[in-house]
C-alpha cells in the first residue's frame, strides 16, 4: 500500500498526463481557490526572500521631513510617523511573519506528531505519560506562556517562535492521537499485523501517512494562526520588538492614532496580515483535498 | 469503565500537580519580581526597603518553602493575598470569573450555532458555488487579527451609531446587558465559528467517503439520511475535540477581546497580574484555568467513548 | 519681612475664598473619567506616578497648595489649604504654619497638628510606622524636624534656608495623612480631609470617589462624585470618550495625533495641549568605555537634531531646553541665546555633526570604523519611539546603535547595575523648581541619579542656589548650573514633551497646569453644566 499515490488519483480524476505542466494545470483548474492560495503564498515567500532587493528604502531609516506622506510614486505605500517607507517595512515584515509562521509551525507540529503517534499507537504507559505532558501543555494558555517567556527571556524573535510553537504541540498531538486510535482498528492495519509486520513499520508506513491529511489541515491553519498570534502578542505589547518591522505591531500601534489621519498605515499592514493568512488557509484546504489518502478507489 | 474513570481522576490530580510546579518555577525564574515593579513606579530601587518588602511578602524564603506554603494554603482554601491590591486573592479572582465565563459560553454557543450547520452544508455541497462562498467567508474569519476585528467593530459602532458597548457591572436594561456581552462574544466567536466550520466540513467529507456510507448509499438510503443520520453522527467526533480544545483556548482570544472591549474578566486580569508579577493571583488563576481545561479534556474523552462505538475505555 | 508675607497670604486666601462662591456653578453629577492604567496603590506618598495623583488627590488636602485655577505653578500661586497661613522666621530657617480648626477626617476624627507631624516624620523615615516605599524622602533632606505647638501650629526647622520647601509642600505629591490610619490602610482605603471620600478601588477596573458632605470648605465640592474607569487600551479609551461615555479623558495623556482624531470626531470637545514637565533624556554610562570619554559624549550631544525629534513625535508641539522646563511655561529656563551656546543646541545641525565627526575621528572612529553600541530602553512606546530616532541620528557620526528593549520589571535593576551603555529615559518633575530636579537627578547620593554623575563643584552650586532667597539671583545661578550639566553631557536632555487633555463642553472648572502634571487634580471647583 502506497501512502499517497497522486498519479492514480489524477488518472482516476481524468487527467491526461500525470507529469509536468499539464498536471499542474489540471490541479489548478480543479482547485481554483487552492491555486489562488498558492499564488498568494508564493508571492509572500518570494517577497520575504527578496526583501533586500525589492525594498526601495532602508525600513529603519527615519526621515522627519517626509513623515506621514501619502502613497505616491516615491513611497508606494506612504510613510509612517517616523518618515519610514511603509512599502519597505511591509516587505521586510513578510520575512518576520514567515519566520514566525514556518518556524513555530514546524517546531510545534514535529513535536506534536511524535507525541501523538507514539501516544495513540503504542498506547499503554507511553500514552499515559504523553497524555499527562499534553494535559500540562494544554492547561497553560498560549498567552500566559508567551507572557512568561517574553518576561523571562526578553522579547525576541526566537522567543516569540517558541512561545507560539508550544501551544501547537497538544493540538497536533491530540488530533494525531485521535486519528491513530481510530486507524488502529481499521482492517488494513489488522491485515498488516496478521502478515507479521513490525509495530514500528506499521506505525510509520501505514498509520502516519493516513494521518497526514488532518496534520496538513492543522499545520496550514496553524501557519496562518501563528502570524495572527504574533499580531495579538504585538497588540498586548509582547510581540517581536523594535526595530524589526512586524506587521502585527505596525497595525496595532497605528490602529488608534492614524486610522483617519493616515489610513495607509492601517490598511497596508492589515491587508498584508489578512492576505498572508488567507492565502495559507486557502492553500491548506486545497492541499487537504488533494492529499487525502482515502480518496483512492 | 468505573475503574477507568477513577484512574482518570487520579491522573487529573497528577496533571494539576505538574502544572502547579511548572507555573511556580516559571514565575520565579523570571528576572524581576513584584518588588522591582513596585519600586519601578517609585522611580528607584532602595536596597533596604526592597529587602524589607521581600521579607514582608515572603519572597526571601527558598522556592521550596514558598511552594509548600502556597500549596498548603490552597488545600485549606486560602489563596493568599494579592501583592498589589493587598486584598485576598480569592476576593479578586472570584467576581471576575462569571464575566469571562459568560463571554466564553456565548462565544462557544455562537461558534457551534454557526460553525456546525455551515460546515455540513459546505461538505454536502462540495465543489459548488455555495461551498466556495462559505469557505471564503470562513477563511476570512480566520484571517483577521482578533484585536483588529474588535477595534473595527468599536470604530464602526462609534461612526454609525455614535455610541459603543462599554462594560458596565450593573447594566440598566436587558438590551444593554445583551450588547456588552454579545458584541465581544461575537468578535471572539467569529473566529471559533470559522474553525468549527472548517473541521466539520473536512470531517464530513472524510466520513462521506468511507465504505459504510457508500454501502448505505448503495442500499438505497436517501441523501438526507446518509448525510445527517450516518455521516454527521460520525463526523461530529473531531468537531467535539475542536470545541473542547477551543473552550480551553478561548481564554487566549478573550485576553485580547477583554482588552479591546475593556471587560474586567479573568483573562485580562491574568495579563495584568503577570505584568505586575503578582504571583498569588497568577498562580491561582493558572491553576483555576488548568482545572477547567483538565475537566474539559476528561469530558471530551468521555463523549468520545459514548459517541464512537469503536472506542471503549477499559482498564 | 515676616509680616509682609503673612499679609500677602491673607490677601491670597481672601482671593481664594471669593473665588468659590460665584453663583453660576451647578451642583451635582458624577464626573466620569477614564484612567490610563491601574495604579499600584492608593497611597500618593508611596508612588511616583501621576496615575496615583489624579484619582487620589481629591481625597486629601495639603498644608498649602498651588491655586488650582492658575495654570502656572509658582511661589506666587501657592495658597493656604489645611494651613490658614504660613510664615518664615527671620533667619529663613523655620517655616511655621497656623492650622485650620474644626477640620475632620473622613472617618470623623478631628484633624490636628499631630497629623502633620506624623506625615512628615514618616516621610523623613523617623517614625515607627514605615512606608513600604518612600520615593520623595530626599525632598526633606534639609528639614531637621517638624515640631508642634498646641493642636493647631506646626513648624518645619531647617538646616539652612530653603525657600523652595514651600513649593514642595504645595505639590499634589504632598498631602497630609492621618496619624491614626496605618500606611497599609492608606494604600488600600485612603482616609483624607479632602472634598471627596474614597469609596472603592478595584484593581484594573475602577476607582470611585463620592462627595464629602462635611467638607470644610462650605458648598464645595460641586460634583456628587468622580468615577475613574481603568482602560489601559488607548484606542478603546479614546473611542469611548468620543462616543460620550466619559466626561473627560485622563489628563495629559492624549497624544498629538490622537488629539487631532478626537477633534474631527467630537468637534465640540474642549482640548488643550500643555507641557507636562517630563523631559526625555539620554542616560549615559560614563563609568565605562566608550562613553567615559568626554569627546565621545560631546560628539553624541552634537549629533542630536532635537527639532527632528519634536517634529516626528509631537508634530512640532514640544519644547527644547536644558534640565529646567523651557519658557514660557517653565520658570527657571535659561534664555534662548544662552541655550544655543551649548554644544548640540546650535541651530546649524550640519555644522554640529561635522564637529561631532571630528571628535569621533579624534577618538579613533571614522567611516571605516564605526562604533557599535546598544541603546537600552523600556518596552513602552513613549520610551521606544525617541530611541528609534536617536539610533537613526547616531548613524551620522559613525555610531551603529542597536535597540535593546527591556521589560519594565527589569529596567531599574538593569540601570542600577550599570548594565547599559546608552539608555533612553523619561524624567518627570513634579514641581517646577531646581531643588527638585537638580538634587533628584544629578546629586551624588540621590537614588534617582541613574548615571551616578557626581561633581563636587556643581554640588556646591546646588546648595548655593537652594539657599538663595533672592529669586533673580537664584535664577542666574540655576542657568549656570543647567548649562554646565549640559556641557558635561551628564544626562543630555532631548526635549520636554507636551500632551493633550480633552473634556466635554459641559465640564467646567478644569485647569491643566502648564509646568507640572502632578499638582492640578483637587477637582473641588469642577462642575458640570448639564
Cβ of C236 and B261 within 8 Å? yes
Q: What is the pLDDT of residue A267?
A: 86
CA distance A149 to chain C (A): 12
Rg for chain B (alpha carbons), in Å? Answer: 24
Placement of cell 501517512 in the chain: A209
A-to-C residue pairs, Cβ atoms closer than 8 angstroms: 70
Report yes or no on whether pTM surpasses 0.90.
no
Cβ of B154 and C236 within 8 Å? yes
Cβ of B238 and A175 within 8 Å? yes
Q: Mutation test of the interface with chain A: which of C257, C259, C349, C383, choosing the one with the most A Cβ atoms within 10 A?
A: C257
CA distance A178 to chain B (A): 8
Cβ of A132 and B237 within 8 Å? no
Cβ of A256 and C238 within 8 Å? yes
Judged by a CB distance cut-off of 8 A, whether residue C374 touches chain A is: no
Question: Is domain C27-227 in CATH 3.40.640.10, yes or no?
Answer: no
Question: If one looks up domain B95-307 in CATH, what number appears?
Answer: 1.10.3720.10
Out of B30, B143, B205, closest to residue A281 by CB: B143
Out of C134, C408, C413, closest to residue B49 by CB: C134
How far CA A118 is from CA of A124, A173, C477, C522, in Å, comes to 10, 9, 78, 67
Judged by a CB distance cut-off of 8 A, whether residue C414 touches chain A is: no
pLDDT digits (tens, 9 = 90+) for C230-281: 998 888 899 899 999 999 999 998 988 888 889 888 899 999 999 999 999 9
Partners of B205 on chain A (C-beta within 8 Å) are: 289, 292
- Residue in chain B closest to A171 (alpha carbons) equals B245
C360: which 3 cell numbers?
569621533
Cβ of A237 and C379 within 8 Å? yes
Cβ of C407 and A255 within 8 Å? no
Cβ of C203 and B261 within 8 Å? no
CB A73, CB A50: distance < 8 Å: no
Delimit the domains of chain A by residue range. 1-30, 33-295
Write the CB contacts of A90 (distance below 8 Å, at least 6 apart in sequence).
Answer: A77, A245, A247, A250, A268, A269, A272
Nearest to C68 by CA among C503, C519, C501: C519
Q: Could you tell me where in chain B the CATH 1.10.3720.10 domains are found?
A: 95-307
A-to-B residue pairs, Cβ atoms closer than 8 angstroms: 163
CA distance A248 to chain B (A): 8
C186: which 3 cell numbers?
492608606
How far CA C415 is from CA of A232, C411, C429, C440, in Å, comes to 30, 6, 20, 16
CB C393, CB A67: distance < 8 Å: no
Partners of C374 on chain A (C-beta within 8 Å) are: none
Q: What is the pLDDT of residue C1?
A: 43
Angle of CA points B252, B135, B120, to nearest 5° = 90
Q: Sheet of C225-230: strands edge to edge?
A: C30-35, C225-230, C206-211, C196-202
Judged by a CB distance cut-off of 8 A, whether residue C242 touches chain B is: yes
CA B143 – CA B125 distance, rounded (Å):
23
Residues β-bridged to residue C66: C78
Residues of chain A falling short of pLDDT 50:
1-4, 293-297
Per-residue pLDDT of chain C (530 residues; tens, 9 = 90+): 444 444 444 444 444 444 444 558 889 899 999 999 888 889 999 888 889 999 999 999 999 999 999 999 999 999 999 999 999 999 999 999 999 999 999 999 999 999 999 999 999 988 888 888 888 888 899 999 999 999 999 999 999 999 999 999 999 999 999 999 999 999 999 999 999 999 999 888 899 999 999 999 988 899 999 999 999 888 889 989 999 999 999 999 898 888 888 988 889 999 999 999 999 999 998 888 888 888 999 999 999 999 999 999 998 889 999 999 998 999 999 999 999 999 889 889 999 999 999 999 999 998 999 999 999 998 888 898 999 999 999 999 999 998 888 877 778 778 877 889 999 999 889 999 999 889 888 888 777 788 878 888 899 999 999 998 898 999 999 999 999 999 888 889 999 999 999 999 999 999 999 999 999 999 999 999 98
Out of A132, A138, A152, closest to residue B293 by CB: A138
- Residue in chain A closest to C305 (alpha carbons) equals A64
Cβ of C409 and B33 within 8 Å? yes
Beta strand spans in B60-192 (E): none
- Burial group, residue C70, by CB count within 10 angstroms (0-12, 13-18, 19+): middle
CA B293 – CA B19 distance, rounded (Å):
12
Crossing angle of helices B63-75/B279-307, nearest 10°?
60
C304: which 3 cell numbers?
542630536
CA distance C40 to chain A (A): 19
C473: which 3 cell numbers?
539671583
Cβ of A256 and C389 within 8 Å? no
The neighbours of chain A, by the rule of 3 or more Cβ pairs under 8 Å, are B, C
Chain centroid offset of residue C363 CA: 38
Cβ of C203 and B36 within 8 Å? no
Partners of A270 on chain C (C-beta within 8 Å) are: none
Judged by a CB distance cut-off of 8 A, whether residue C379 touches chain B is: no
Nearest to C284 by CA among C455, C439, C382, C415: C415
Placement of cell 523648581 in the chain: C433
Partners of C377 on chain A (C-beta within 8 Å) are: none
Cβ of B308 and A144 within 8 Å? no
- Residue in chain C closest to A244 (alpha carbons) equals C403
Angle of CA points C432, C437, C439, to nearest 5° = 140
Cβ of A257 and C381 within 8 Å? no
Judged by a CB distance cut-off of 8 A, whether residue A82 touches chain C is: yes
Q: Mutation test of the interface with chain C: which of A61, A150, A237, A239, choosing the one with the most C Cβ atoms within 10 A?
A: A237
Judged by a CB distance cut-off of 8 A, whether residue C253 touches chain A is: no
Q: Mutation test of the interface with chain A: which of B148, B152, B188, B238, choosing the one with the most A Cβ atoms within 10 A?
A: B148
Under DSSP, the state recorded for C326 is P
The neighbours of chain B, by the rule of 3 or more Cβ pairs under 8 Å, are A, C
Out of B14, B252, B259, closest to residue A141 by CB: B252
Nearest to A202 by CA among A216, A214, A212, A188: A188
Q: Which residues of C187-204 are buried (b: 16+ CB within 10 A; e: fewer)?
A: beebbbbbbbbbeebbbb
Out of C130, C135, C410, closest to residue B31 by CB: C410
Judged by a CB distance cut-off of 8 A, whether residue C205 touches chain B is: yes
CA distance C46 to chain B (A): 7
CA distance B174 to chain A (A): 30
- Residue in chain B closest to C449 (alpha carbons) equals B44
Cβ of A144 and B274 within 8 Å? yes
Judged by a CB distance cut-off of 8 A, whether residue A237 touches chain C is: yes
Chain centroid offset of residue C273 CA: 16
Out of B38, B45, B155, closest to residue C40 by CB: B38
Per-residue pLDDT of chain B (315 residues; tens, 9 = 90+): 678 888 888 888 888 888 888 888 878 877 777 777 777 666 666 777 778 888 878 888 888 888 888 888 888 888 888 888 888 888 888 889 999 988 989 998 998 888 888 988 888 888 788 888 888 888 887 788 888 888 888 888 888 888 888 887 777 778 778 888 888 998 888 888 888 888 888 788 877 777 777 777 777 777 777 777 677 777 777 787 777 767 766 777 788 889 889 899 888 888 888 878 888 888 888 888 888 878 877 887 777 777 666 655 554
The number of residues in chain C equals 530
Complex ipTM? 0.83
* Homologous superfamily of the C275-498 domain (CATH): Dipeptide-binding Protein; Domain 3 (3.10.105.10)
For domain A33-295, which architecture applies?
Orthogonal Bundle (1.10)
CA C119 – CA C462 distance, rounded (Å):
27
Instruction: Reduce the DSSP state of residue A210 to 3 states and report it.
Output: helix
B217: which 3 cell numbers?
448509499
CA distance A151 to chain C (A): 7
Out of C379, C389, C402, closest to residue A82 by CB: C389
Angle of CA points A71, A259, C425, to nearest 5° = 95
Partners of A266 on chain C (C-beta within 8 Å) are: none
How far CA C376 is from CA of A157, C379, C380, C419, in Å, comes to 17, 9, 12, 9
Angle of CA points C47, B97, C31, to nearest 5° = 50
CA B93 – CA B78 distance, rounded (Å):
13
C263: which 3 cell numbers?
477633534
Pairing relationship of beta strands C196-202 and C206-211 according to DSSP bridges:
antiparallel
Instruction: Reduce the DSSP state of residue A61 to 3 states and report it.
Output: coil
Out of A139, A151, A171, closest to residue B294 by CB: A139
Amino acid at each position: 500500500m502506497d501512502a499517497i499515490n497522486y498519479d492514480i488519483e489524477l488518472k482516476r480524476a481524468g487527467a491526461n498526463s500525470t507529469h509536468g505542466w499539464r498536471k499542474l494545470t489540471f490541479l489548478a483548474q480543479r482547485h481554483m481557490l487552492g491555486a489562488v492560495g498558492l499564488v498568494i503564498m508564493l508571492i509572500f515567500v518570494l517577497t520575504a526572500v527578496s526583501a533586500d532587493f525589492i525594498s526601495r528604502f532602508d525600513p529603519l531609516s527615519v526621515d522627519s521631513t517626509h513623515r506621514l506622506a501619502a502613497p505616491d510614486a516615491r513611497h508606494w505605500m506612504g510613510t509612517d510617523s517616523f518618515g519610514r517607507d511603509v512599502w519597505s517595512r511591509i516587505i521586510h515584515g513578510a520575512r518576520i511573519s514567515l519566520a514566525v509562521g514556518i518556524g513555530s509551525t514546524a517546531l510545534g507540529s514535529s513535536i506534536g506528531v511524535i507525541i501523538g503517534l507514539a501516544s495513540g499507537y503504542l498506547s499503554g504507559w507511553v500514552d499515559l505519560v504523553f497524555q499527562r505532558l499534553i494535559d500540562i501543555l494544554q492547561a497553560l494558555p498560549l498567552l500566559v506562556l508567551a507572557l512568561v517567556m517574553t518576561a523571562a527571556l526578553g522579547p525576541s524573535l526566537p522567543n516569540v517562535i517558541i512561545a507560539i510553537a508550544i501551544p501547537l504541540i497538544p493540538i497536533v498531538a491530540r488530533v494525531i492521537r485521535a486519528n491513530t486510535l481510530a486507524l488502529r482498528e481499521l482492517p488494513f492495519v489488522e491485515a498488516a499485523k496478521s502478515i507479521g509486520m513490525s509495530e514500528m513499520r506499521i506505525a510509520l508506513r501505514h498509520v502516519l501517512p493516513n494521518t497526514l491529511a488532518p496534520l496538513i489541515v492543522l499545520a496550514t491553519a496553524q501557519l496562518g494562526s501563528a502570524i495572527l498570534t504574533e499580531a495579538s502578542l504585538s497588540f498586548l505589547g509582547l510581540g517581536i520588538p523594535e526595530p524589526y518591522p512586524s506587521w502585527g505591531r505596525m497595525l496595532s500601534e497605528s490602529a488608534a492614532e492614524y486610522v483617519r489621519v493616515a489610513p495607509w498605515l492601517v490598511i497596508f499592514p492589515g491587508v498584508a496580515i489578512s492576505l498572508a493568512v488567507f492565502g495559507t488557509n486557502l492553500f491548506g484546504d486545497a492541499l487537504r483535498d488533494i492529499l487525502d489518502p482515502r480518496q483512492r478507489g | 469503565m468505573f475503574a477507568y474513570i477513577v484512574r482518570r481522576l487520579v491522573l487529573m490530580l497528577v496533571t494539576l500537580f505538574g502544572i502547579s510546579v511548572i507555573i511556580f518555577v516559571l514565575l520565579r525564574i523570571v528576572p524581576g519580581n513584584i518588588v522591582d515593579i513596585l519600586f519601578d513606579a517609585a522611580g528607584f530601587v532602595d536596597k533596604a526597603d526592597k529587602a524589607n518588602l521581600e521579607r514582608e511578602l515572603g519572597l526571601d524564603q527558598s522556592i521550596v518553602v514558598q511552594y509548600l506554603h502556597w500549596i498548603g494554603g490552597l488545600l485549606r482554601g486560602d489563596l493568599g493575598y494579592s501583592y498589589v491590591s493587598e486584598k485576598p486573592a480569592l476576593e479578586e479572582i472570584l467576581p471576575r470569573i462569571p464575566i469571562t465565563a459568560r463571554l466564553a459560553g456565548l462565544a462557544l454557543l455562537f461558534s457551534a450555532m454557526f460553525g456546525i450547520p455551515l460546515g455540513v452544508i459546505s461538505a454536502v455541497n462540495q465543489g459548488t458555488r455555495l461551498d466556495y462562498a462559505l469557505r471564503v467567508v470562513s477563511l476570512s474569519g480566520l484571517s483577521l487579527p482578533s484585536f483588529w476585528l474588535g477595534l473595527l467593530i468599536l470604530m464602526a459602532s462609534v461612526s454609525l451609531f455614535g455610541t459603543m458597548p462599554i462594560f458596565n457591572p450593573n447594566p440598566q436594561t436587558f438590551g444593554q446587558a445583551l450588547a456588552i456581552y454579545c458584541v465581544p462574544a461575537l468578535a471572539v466567536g467569529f473566529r471559533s465559528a470559522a474553525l468549527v466550520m472548517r473541521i466539520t466540513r473536512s470531517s464530513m467529507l472524510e466520513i462521506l467517503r468511507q465504505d459504510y456510507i457508500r454501502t448505505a448509499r448503495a442500499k438505497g438510503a436517501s441523501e438526507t439520511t446518509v448525510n445527517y443520520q450516518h455521516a454527521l453522527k460520525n463526523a461530529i467526533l473531531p468537531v467535539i475535540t475542536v470545541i473542547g480544545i477551543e473552550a480551553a483556548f478561548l481564554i487566549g482570544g478573550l485576553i485580547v477581546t477583554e482588552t479591546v472591549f475593556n471587560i474586567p474578566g479573568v483573562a485580562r486580569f491574568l495579563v495584568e497580574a503577570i505584568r505586575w508579577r503578582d504571583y498569588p493571583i497568577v498562580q491561582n488563576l493558572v491553576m483555576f484555568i488548568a482545572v477547567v481545561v483538565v475537566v474539559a479534556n476528561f469530558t471530551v474523552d468521555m463523549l468520545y467513548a459514548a459517541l464512537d462505538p469503536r472506542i471503549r475505555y477499559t482498564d | 519681612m515676616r509680616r509682609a508675607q503673612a499679609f500677602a497670604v491673607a490677601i491670597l486666601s481672601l482671593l481664594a475664598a471669593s473665588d468659590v462662591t460665584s453663583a453660576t456653578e451647578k451642583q451635582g453629577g458624577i464626573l466620569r473619567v477614564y484612567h490610563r492604567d491601574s495604579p499600584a496603590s492608593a497611597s500618593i506618598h508611596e508612588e511616583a506616578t501621576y496615575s496615583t495623583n489624579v484619582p487620589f488627590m481629591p481625597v486629601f488636602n495639603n498644608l498649602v497648595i498651588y491655586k488650582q485655577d492658575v495654570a502656572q505653578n509658582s511661589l506666587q500661586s501657592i495658597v493656604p489649604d489645611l494651613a490658614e497661613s504660613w510664615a518664615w522666621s527671620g533667619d529663613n530657617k523655620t517655616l511655621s504654619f497656623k492650622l485650620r480648626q474644626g477640620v475632620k477626617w473622613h472617618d470623623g476624627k478631628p484633624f490636628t497638628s499631630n497629623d502633620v507631624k506624623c506625615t512628615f516624620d514618616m516621610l523623613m523615615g523617623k517614625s515607627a510606622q514605615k512606608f513600604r516605599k518612600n520615593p520623595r524622602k530626599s525632598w526633606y533632606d534639609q528639614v531637621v524636624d517638624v515640631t508642634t505647638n498646641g493642636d493647631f501650629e506646626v513648624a518645619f526647622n531647617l538646616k539652612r534656608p530653603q525657600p523652595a520647601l514651600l513649593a514642595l509642600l504645595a505639590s499634589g505629591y504632598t498631602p497630609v495623612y492621618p496619624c491614626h490610619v496605618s500606611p497599609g490602610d492608606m494604600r488600600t482605603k485612603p482616609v483624607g480631609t479632602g472634598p471627596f471620600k474614597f469609596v472603592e478601588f478595584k484593581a484594573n477596573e475602577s476607582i470611585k470617589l463620592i462627595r464629602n458632605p462635611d467638607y470644610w470648605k462650605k458648598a464645595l465640592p460641586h460634583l456628587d462624585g468622580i468615577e475613574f474607569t481603568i482602560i489601559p487600551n488607548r484606542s478603546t479609551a479614546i473611542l469611548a470618550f468620543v462616543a460620550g461615555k466619559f466626561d473627560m479623558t485622563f489628563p495629559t495623556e492624549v497624544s498629538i495625533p490622537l488629539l487631532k482624531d478626537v477633534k474631527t470626531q467630537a468637534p465640540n470637545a474642549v482640548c488643550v495641549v500643555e507641557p507636562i514637565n517630563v523631559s526625555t533624556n539620554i542616560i549615559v554610562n560614563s563609568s565605562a568605555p566608550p562613553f567615559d570619554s568626554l569627546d565621545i559624549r560631546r560628539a553624541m550631544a552634537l549629533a542630536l537634531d532635537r527639532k527632528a525629534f519634536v517634529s516626528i513625535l509631537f508634530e512640532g508641539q514640544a519644547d527644547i531646553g536644558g534640565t529646567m522646563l523651557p519658557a514660557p511655561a517653565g520658570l527657571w529656563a535659561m534664555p534662548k541665546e544662552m541655550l544655543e551656546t551649548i554644544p548640540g543646541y546650535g541651530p546649524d545641525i550640519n555644522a554640529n555633526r561635522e564637529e561631532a565627526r571630528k571628535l569621533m575621528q579624534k577618538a579613533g572612529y571614522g567611516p571605516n570604523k564605526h562604533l557599535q553600541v546598544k541603546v537600552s530602553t523600556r518596552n513602552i512606546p513613549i520610551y521606544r519611539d525617541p530611541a528609534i530616532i536617536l539610533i537613526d541620528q547616531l548613524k551620522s557620526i559613525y555610531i551603529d546603535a542597536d535597540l535593546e528593549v527591556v521589560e519594565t520589571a527589569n529596567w531599574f535593576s538593569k540601570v542600577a547595575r550599570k548594565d547599559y551603555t546608552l539608555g533612553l529615559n523619561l524624567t518627570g518633575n513634579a514641581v517646577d523648581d531646581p531643588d527638585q530636579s537638580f538634587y533628584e537627578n544629578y546629586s551624588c547620593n540621590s537614588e534617582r541619579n541613574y548615571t551616578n554623575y557626581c561633581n563636587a563643584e556643581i554640588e556646591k552650586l546646588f546648595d548655593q542656589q537652594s539657599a538663595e532667597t533672592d529669586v533673580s539671583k537664584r535664577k542666574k545661578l540655576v542657568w549656570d548650573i543647567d548649562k554646565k550639566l549640559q556641557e558635561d553631557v551628564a544626562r543630555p536632555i532631548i526635549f520636554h514633551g507636551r500632551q493633550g487633555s480633552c473634556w466635554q463642553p459641559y465640564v467646567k472648572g478644569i485647569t491643566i497646569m502648564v509646568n507640572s502634571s502632578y499638582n492640578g487634580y483637587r477637582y473641588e471647583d469642577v462642575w458640570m453644566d448639564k
